[in-house]
Structure 1
């Protein structure tokens, strides 16, 4: 189910229409948050939409998490086979500087060759050889958990028209490019009937960014976002009193070593992250990309 194209709003309109920062209780946001970031799009050519009022602190302090999300979203093992044709590979190389500066430790975790092992993965009907890697993943998880919480809160703002209350609950789970099976993806879509993408005139975000969603348009949203088909983020956000305790009871047990990419946090402390070891994998040949957990 698509949505109508929206006109591009000016910065002043976005800030004036907001009650507060999209991520915290600061009542005087002064910057604009783009979710997803412009850097996640080819040549930064991003359609309008999903632009939110944000305080300078939240905007600046989460730059590292945005960079990590861009890095993993650009990792496409299929493109790496022919690197000279891969714009994603070039973009991935460019963003490593931002990752190193604002998310120290992540590159070392993701590209630790000592833990590589050979593996096979099916992609687009073909079998490809990759290097499976057991990364320690503490910093990687922290930043992808944080980016996922940002995506969840931005999704709530978009689909309900208001910021998530500070009493709210945020459940997130992220998958990298081999971590979400077709069966699990289909199961998610069966309860997420709506589909949305950025659109500006004839330009759309297409496979670079799309969202499947379900919402009562009041106080609960469930979404699955895809970023270049290499990063997938599932979020459930609510501040409805009738939902908070049941969801905490149902989803809390999932935040464990068995499901290391899950997180459950309060909207008043959305950057909290439970550190767990994350299984990743890299394309055959080295530092071209990574694959996420085997289930």
Structure 2
């Protein structure tokens, strides 16, 4: 499979995959920061605008941080080490998130079986904090729109929507996972040849008609799961029920979903655009 160059991606798209704006950047979804040492196989690269791409970067950082936190990882693992190394940039670009995420009120102790069958207590974090929930909603919606573009061949229409939600490692109930996976027969990820892949860091199951709908359940490392279903029309089956802990997102919604302080910092980082017009006298 030949992957498109940046110039080819920009030339074949009419707009940002997340909104109606003119595309000015390329968007990697999942982001490069999601992968160990930023070594990401090629594929799943799209055209985006600066407001959606750069403006939602904090959501990518939060998702990559959470994905690396799992009760199954040893404290000396590379996942935990990379998560710790991101604390500074997270505090700068997603202010308040770390304090909320590690708030003792957001944590409970549950018992999980080990490989030997012996159960041991592990700390489980709930995703009920407003900052954590907002960042993960943005990330999940981005994934849904990106996979729609990838599998259906065109950006999600403005009248369409994504129904999306995120779960921590221990938060995806087995019966919920079984129900979702039962309608998703296919599996995909990022692969370049037989050996260059990142299945241990990103893989997803999906189902699609290739034209107007795609449903996917993605796993990021061992700490984060994302459910995302994208539909070409707002009501394809007549009052489609909203799944628990999910929300509906439409193209153009993403920047406004970001927490205010992250949104403000993102605007400050956006490049200035020179507009044609008369020179000042």
TM-score of the aligned structures, taking structure 1 as reference length = 0.80
- Per the alignment, residue 43 of structure 1 pairs with 37
Q: Does the aligned pair in 2 maintain the 1:41–1:208 contact within 8 Å?
A: yes
Of the three residues 25, 29, 54, the one matched with 2:48 is: 54
Q: Distance in 2 between matches of 1:95 and 1:8?
A: 30
SS in 2 for 1:62: helix
- Per the alignment, residue 192 of structure 2 pairs with 200
Structure 1 segment 164-203 matched on structure 2, within 5 A: 164-201=156-193, 202-203=195-196
**1:134–1:159 Cα change, 3 Å:** closer
Paired residues, number: 257
Q: Does 1:106 align with 2:89?
A: no
Q: Does the aligned pair in 2 maintain the 1:47–1:200 contact within 8 Å?
A: yes
Q: List alignment gaps of at least 5 residues for structure 2.
A: 260-281
Deviation at 1:118, TM superposition (A): 3.1
**1:223–1:126 Cα change, 3 Å:** farther
Deviation at 1:173, TM superposition (A): 1.6
Q: Distance in 1 between matches of 2:256 and 2:114?
A: 33
Q: Does 1:95 align with 2:86?
A: yes
- Per the alignment, residue 239 of structure 2 pairs with 249
The structure number with the bigger radius of gyration is 2
Q: Does the aligned pair in 1 maintain the 2:69–2:222 contact within 8 Å?
A: no
- Per the alignment, residue 17 of structure 1 pairs with 12
Deviation at 1:133, TM superposition (A): 4.9
Instruction: Please tell me the root mean square deviation across aligned C-alpha atoms, in Å.
Output: 2.2
Q: List alignment gaps of at least 5 residues for structure 1.
A: 1-5, 276-295
Structure 1 segment 1-295 matched on structure 2, within 5 A: 6-27=1-22, 29-80=23-74, 83-84=75-76, 86-113=77-104, 116-122=107-113, 127-133=119-125, 137-201=129-193, 202-240=195-233, 244-246=234-236, 249-252=239-242, 254=243, 259=244, 261-270=245-254
TM-score of the aligned structures, taking structure 2 as reference length = 0.84
Deviation at 1:194, TM superposition (A): 0.9
